[in-house]
Every structure is written in C-alpha cells, then in structure tokens.
Amino acid sequence: MSQETRPLEGIKVVEMSTFIAVPATARFFAEFGAEVVKIEPTSGDLVRFNGVSEGRLGSAYENTTFDLENAHKRGIILNLKDPEGIEALFKLLETTDIFVTNWRPQALEKLGLGYESLKDRFPKLVYGSLTGYGEVGPDKDLPGYDFTSFWGRSGLLGSLYQSDSSPDNLIPGIGDHTAGLNLAAGCMVALYKAKLTGKGDKVAVNLLHSAIFAQGIYIQAAQYKGMGHSYPMLRTEADNPFNNSYKSADGRFIQISMPPFDQFYPKFMPLIGREDLVGEEKYKINNIMQQGLNSEFIAVLDAAFAKKTAAEWTKILTEADIPFAVAATWEEVLEDPQAWAIGAFEKVDYPSGPRTMVRQPIEIAGADKLPYAKAPQLGEHTEEVLRELGYGGEKIRDLHGRQVISTWDDVKGKVLAQSGDKE
C-alpha cells in the first residue's frame, strides 16, 4: 500500500497510556497507516481485564473493548522505573513523530517525561497530553475518568435526567472517545506545523473542557436567567416541544427534532391528526414560551403519539420527511442496515464465533480501509521493536534477565489466569 492510500504511512506514534481516551487517539493514527507502538507495564493496560464488568467475556483472546481501542498497534513492555527502560523509550522517541499519553503530569515529571524535559532533546516531537481536568488550576492533579470529569463535573450528568427522577445510567467511553478524537485533531495540526517548520509542540486536551465544549450551546444560554426552563427538568417542560420524545402505542419512544418550530408546525400537525390546530396563534413558539404553554402543547402531542405504533409512525414521518428516530436499543443498532451501509461495523472472528465490531467514524475517500485487526497481546512485540532500535541479542537478553523489558511469554501465564483463559 502506498502513502496515497495510507496517508499517515511513515508517521511513527508512541502511546503510553491506559483505558480508553489516548488509546483511541493512537488507534485513529494507526487506522490511516501510522506505525503505533504501545508501551505498557508488566501489569498491562487495565482495560485488558475489564470484560466481566462490561457485560462481555474477560478472555485475553476475545477482548472486544481492547481491540476497539488498540487494533493495528504493536505492543511492548518497558520498566520505566529502571534507567535503562527510560533509555529504551528515549531511543524510541528519536524516530517518533507523535508521543501521546494520559499519565498525570506529576508522574511524568517524576520520570523526566514531561514536555519541558523532552522538548529540547526531541525538538521535532509532537507531544500529546490528555488529562481529566487540565494541567493548570486548583484541581489539575485530581484523577479523572469520563464518568466524573466529562459527565459529572461538566454539567452533562446534571442536566440529562427528568427532574423528578435520578441521574441517567452512564455509558462508558463516550467522554473518552470525544476527548480522544479532540487530541487526534490537535496532534495533526501540530504535526503539520512540525513538518513545515521542523519544530514540534505540545497538545493538551482534557475531559472537562471537551464536555463543556460539547454542551457549549446550552451552557452559554444558561447565563440568560429567567428565559426557558433550567435543567434538569421534565420532558413535559421542554422549551421546544418539537425537540422532544413521545411514547407510541406499543411503548417505544420516538424522538423528533424540528428546531425551527413555526416553520414545521403547519406541516406536522396534520400528520398527527390535529389539522384543527393549524393556524392556532397561541401555539406559535414565542407564545408557548412567554405564556408557559409547553406542558399543555406537549400533552397534545403525547395524546396523538399514543394512538399509533412505532412502525406506523415510522412510515408516516418518513414519507413526510420529518426528522425523527425511534429510540433504538443496542441490540437493534447492531442490526441497523443504515449503520452497516455507512461502514460502522465489521464482522471479526473470535473463539466464541463472529462478533460485530465498531469501526472509527472517519473515512477518507482515497485511503484504504484496513481490515479489522486484533490488538497486540501484552508485550507481544517487545523484542521485535528493540531489535529495530539497534539492540543486539545479547543486550536484549540482559535487559530481559533484569526485567527491564518483558515479553508475552513472560506475562502470559499471569494474564491468562487473571482473564480466566485456559491455554
């Protein structure tokens, strides 16, 4: 394959991270042809062992989450507490274009791996850092996961539930994938600059800011006190009743979205059997908001939607070109023909049988779409990568004997025991 069809061919990325966000960043680069080397400790990226808690197998040979974030990478084990482990990392960075990490800044500085420590030694290096709360401010050293930094602290969790209920069930990875692609975008900008000028740069992304940006429209609007309803609220109080969900006769929720309310009103009302309300002045959006008629009008829509099944509404709304979607379950999404048509999924063989895997959402017309691959086993490519760096067999055996490096053969028994596999 050429650089024309694999646009990041020749770009080298080193990833030193765990969990989801930064691995997703590095996976993006790998998807378009970059060489990605993932560094792990002997204990491994903890996502390798999260299977049961995610409702899937915990097998080292069938880890769909780890493959989602780490396909097309090579994996090595380095003991970075040993000076020779750090030296091996430095040798790796000599030919690296992008280094990405989600280690906390204080841990990086302790090992001499902060940006200020590396920028003069590796002037062309793009250094990507992803944290929970950023690298300045009173809470910069707090641990952060997407459930806390992205969902909780940002106002997202505090708005997406009915005001007479409890917070929604959260879905792992949404904040991580959002922030991970933000970091990928920033690193690509810095890489473009580095290729033009020969000077690398630091790219910093955090979960909190990523979530605030994602909600920017409504966070900004929250400054206008007394206008609209404050979140959390009831769905019966929605400011725009045409941006709301309604329950069908067979118990399915149908989400409609018609932001220009007044423009859609005369077309939509006959579809729900309320031609009599076409031309009703009190139901213009300004009147609904000013007179507090939200609940009254939503009750009209509730009653109408309750008279037909989701299948019947799907036919009616599709034919009328109304923006809507039936609230799907994950099991339904896996069978969605439109999702398959746009390349969201690919079948991959596993020991338990073929499984549907999720592909990254970015396609470039002229780039080859790589077949889905499995992630590397822990330490699978350690010796291979070191040989490429110029380490001879005797030196590799020495480092191996002193546990500066480890391989899959070294950790295999422990990993398989922890994951419940049998060889």
- Known catalytic residues? 176
Residue 76 DSSP symbol: E
Separation CA 26–CA 7 (nearest Å): 15
Separation CA 307–CA 319 (nearest Å): 18
Separation CA 275–CA 270 (nearest Å): 4
CB 375 within 8 Å of CB 405: no
Separation CA 110–CA 91 (nearest Å): 19
Tracing tokens 């470039």 back to the chain, one arrives at 364
- Token pair, residue 123, equals 């002037």
Tracing tokens 């979530």 back to the chain, one arrives at 211
- Find, among 287, 172, 154, 161, the residue nearest to 214 by Cα: 154
Residue 142 DSSP symbol: S
Whole-angstrom CA distances from 146 to 72, 73, 162, 206, 207 are 24, 24, 21, 10, 7
- Token pair, residue 249, equals 């006769």
Separation CA 211–CA 215 (nearest Å): 6
